[in-house]
């Protein structure tokens, strides 16, 4: 009897090729399209693509509406984080609670043990590793996944290069048109900018004061939710000769603190919601403090669900609410929310 696997299918190239590869490996593939938000026309188009692939492969593709759960666990978290002056990473929380949370629960209702997606990373059942294609590696976004699900995860694209995936897809009639489609956005529910999302829920256009590090008013800004740590433009500083960057956000007073680049430098920080795949208390590793950054060496001391991270070389623009992911070479050790 063939082993069954539930594949998260978005209607895009990566998940489509993942399903095809698993079928070729001998798995009995079952697909699921997860509706996560209410962007007009989005799901009709992409579910139709997923169904076409399902027909081509001869597999069933379930439609699973998780929009309520997604709103509570991911969307609202995104909005509330910005209200508090944080810089959230909704994709990390989606992977923990929805894609490898609710999707796992759905697999259980179908009696399916293995779950697969088109993520670019690897998993051996005990740990998650960086993908062969370093430019597409998505392991960072999985650092908060519950370690209990690791034995169930399959990532068929972990050993693939993105361009090879697109070339492979281009040779298959049913998905030929997918191979040239635009890459999906990093945050699925954001059409253009996060400002547009926030403006639906509150007035973000409330001008405020720009302060220096001594607390002096030196200019103005258009509303604190337009800014993230490290942002260089969009605010006014009177009499400044050097470029200024956002150093701190004060939501309670609608103020931002700015300064020169060297004041963005950080050598230590703390994380909460610490999620480790191994029982490590005090250890050396590398850490990525944003997705598109190079991992830097650090020393970590943890206690319960919090940790203190001491960097062996400084980073710039550390933002509360962002994710710190810990690595030992290409092995993902876990991660936490910068606080």
Domains, the chain, with CATH or none: 4-180 (3.40.50.620), 203-259 (2.30.30.280), 264-338 (2.40.30.10)
DSSP code string of 152-189? GEE-TTTT--HHHHHHHHHTSGGGGGGGGSPPPPSSTT
Once rounded to an integer, what is the mean pLDDT over residues 120-126?
Answer: 97
The two three-digit tokens of residue 267, written as one number: 């050598």
CA 68 – CA 56 distance, rounded (Å) = 31
With bands split at pLDDT 50, 70 and 90, how would you rate the model's confidence at 40? confident
Is the predicted pLDDT of residue 149 greater than 90, yes or no? Answer: yes
* 21 CB-near residues (< 8 Å, 6+ apart): 156, 157
Contact of 319 with 258, CB cutoff 8 Å: no
- List pLDDT tens digits, range 229-250: 999 999 999 988 899 999 999 9
pLDDT at 190: 84
- List pLDDT tens digits, range 153-212: 999 999 999 999 999 998 887 765 554 455 555 688 887 889 999 999 999 999 999 999
With bands split at pLDDT 50, 70 and 90, how would you rate the model's confidence at 258? very high
Q: Give the dihedral of Cα atoms 25, 30, 34, 39; nearest 10 deg.
A: 80
Global pTM?
0.93
pLDDT at 224: 97
Contact of 271 with 89, CB cutoff 8 Å: no
Provide the pairing of β-strand 323-328 with 306-316.
Answer: unpaired
The DSSP H or E segment spanning 91 is: helix 90-94
Q: What are phi and psi of 151, to 5 degrees?
A: -65, -15
The two three-digit tokens of residue 129, written as one number: 């590793």
pLDDT at 154: 98
Residues catalogued as catalytic: 94, 188
Classified as helix, coil or strand, 56 is: helix
CA 201 – CA 2 distance, rounded (Å) = 48
With bands split at pLDDT 50, 70 and 90, how would you rate the model's confidence at 17? very high
Contact of 244 with 259, CB cutoff 8 Å: yes
Is the predicted pLDDT of residue 298 greater than 80, yes or no? Answer: yes
- List pLDDT tens digits, range 55-86: 999 999 999 999 999 999 999 999 999 999 99
* 193 CB-near residues (< 8 Å, 6+ apart): none
Once rounded to an integer, what is the mean pLDDT over residues 37-44?
Answer: 86
């Amino acid at each position: 009897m063939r082993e069954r696997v539930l594949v998260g299918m978005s209607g895009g190239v990566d998940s489509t090729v993942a399903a095809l590869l698993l079928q070729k490996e001998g798995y009995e593939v079952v697909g699921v399209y997860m509706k996560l938000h209410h962007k007009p026309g989005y799901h009709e188009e992409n579910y139709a693509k997923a169904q076409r692939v399902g027909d081509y492969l001869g597999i069933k593709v379930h439609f699973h509406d998780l929009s309520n759960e997604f709103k509570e666990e991911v969307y609202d978290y995104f909005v509330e984080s910005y209200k508090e002056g944080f810089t959230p990473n909704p994709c990390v929380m989606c992977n923990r609670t929805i894609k490898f949370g609710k999707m796992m629960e759905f697999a259980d209702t179908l009696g399916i043990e293995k779950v697969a997606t088109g993520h670019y990373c690897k998993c051996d059942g005990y740990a998650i590793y960086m993908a062969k294609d370093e430019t597409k590696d998505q392991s960072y976004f999985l650092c908060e996944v519950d370690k209990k699900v690791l034995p169930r995860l399959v990532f068929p694209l972990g050993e693939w290069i993105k361009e090879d995936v697109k070339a492979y897809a281009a040779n298959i009639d049913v998905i030929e048109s997918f191979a040239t489609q635009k890459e999906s956005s990093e945050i699925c529910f954001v059409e253009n900018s996060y400002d547009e999302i926030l403006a639906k829920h509150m007035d973000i256009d409330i001008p405020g004061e720009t302060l220096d590090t001594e607390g002096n008013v030196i200019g103005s800004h258009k509303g604190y939710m337009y800014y993230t740590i490290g942002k260089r433009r969009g605010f006014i500083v009177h009499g400044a000769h050097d470029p200024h960057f956002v150093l701190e956000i004060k939501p309670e007073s609608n103020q931002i603190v700015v300064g020169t680049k060297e004041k963005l430098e950080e050598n230590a920080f703390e994380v909460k919601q610490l999620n480790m795949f191994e029982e490590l208390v005090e250890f050396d590793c590398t850490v990525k403090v944003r997705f598109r950054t190079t991992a830097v060496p650090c020393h970590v001391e943890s206690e319960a669900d919090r940790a203190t991270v001491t960097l062996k070389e400084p980073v710039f623009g550390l933002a509360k609410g962002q994710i710190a992911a810990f690595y030992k070479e290409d092995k993902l050790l876990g991660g936490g929310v910068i606080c």
